[in-house]
Amino acid sequence: MIELDAYVGRTETARDTADAERIRLLAATLDHGGQPWKAGMLPPLGHWLCFRPDAPQSALGADGHPARSDTSFLPNVDLPRRMWAGSRVRFLNDIPLGAAMTRTSTIRSAVHKQGRSGAMVFVTVEHSIAAGDGGPAIVEEQDIVYRDAPTPGAPLPRGEEADIAADAAVRRIAPDSVLLFRYSALTFNAHRIHYDRDYTVREEGYPGLVVQGPLLATLLMDHHLREHGPDRIGGFEFRAMSPLIEGDAIDLVAAHGDGETRLQAIGPRGLAMAAKVTLR
């Protein structure tokens, strides 16, 4: 294994614009006639459509991700699977559409662990996003997990059983390959498990295309927005629990309490994602 301590504190800077066209297309992807967020402002989690990867085609690995190297920002971990396992986001100020943005990313921690499925590496990256010449408008801690490939033929991991509050708002969806493709196009995500079914089944061992974690988190945020509107959102956090496959029936669950909305995505294998919106 590589020496992970050498990566802690590493930084990189990226620049982009809060592009109104991407946000209009996000609204269409989420099946809105209009836009259910503050007019003229980047919506909650809209920053995930910004700072898109720009590796040349020749620099991509077999899975469609940029090939790892010792000069990459993230650790060059010798484990085949990488997943975005969770995030904690603070929304400090609105970002107007059209504004120039700067993102400063810092590796805060990188540790080896041994799980039931084998060796794992956990990396936490902090992204601080500023608009124009102002201070941070969005600060996100992102958890990235590297792990071994599963044993061929192993069943998909199950999430814990979900407990739905009696007064919770529930919306059922079934993401298909078109939705997965459109979201990958919006984020310029070339990871093949989201659009190349033959590769996904043959090489990765999944029974079908895999629903993107950030898409599922965006659908949960959208469920909150549909129920409670865009005002007073101060934070969002999510944790991925188990994978979802194209066509899975998913219940999006929102339970609104004092100062927060508890969110769940429940699929055929139990709880797939747990999330929370906190209000200012």
Residue-by-residue pLDDT tens, the chain, 280 positions: 578 888 899 999 999 999 999 999 999 999 998 888 999 999 999 999 999 999 999 999 889 988 888 888 988 888 888 899 999 999 999 999 999 999 999 999 999 988 777 889 999 999 999 999 899 999 999 999 998 887 766 777 777 788 888 889 999 999 999 999 999 999 999 999 999 999 999 988 899 999 999 999 999 999 999 999 888 999 999 999 999 999 999 999 999 988 999 999 999 999 999 999 999 8
Global pTM value: 0.94
Domain that holds residue 122: 4-279
CB 265: neighbour CB atoms within 10 A? 28
Single-letter amino acid, residue 100: A
Predicted local distance difference test score (pLDDT) of residue 165: 83
End-to-end CA distance of the chain: 43
Residue 220's Cβ-count burial label (10 Å; 0-12, 13-18, 19+) is buried
Q: Is the distance from CB of 145 to CB of 241 less than 8 angstroms?
A: no
Q: Please enumerate, as own/partner, the contacts of 131-135 that have beta carbons within 8 Å and a separation of 24 or more.
A: 131/18, 131/93, 131/95, 131/96, 131/99, 131/100, 131/101, 132/99, 132/100, 134/93, 135/92, 135/93
Structure tokens at 62: 């077999």
Domain containing residue 59: CATH number: 3.10.129.10
Give the total number of structural domains in the chain: 1
Helices (H) and strands (E) in the chain, counts: 4, 10
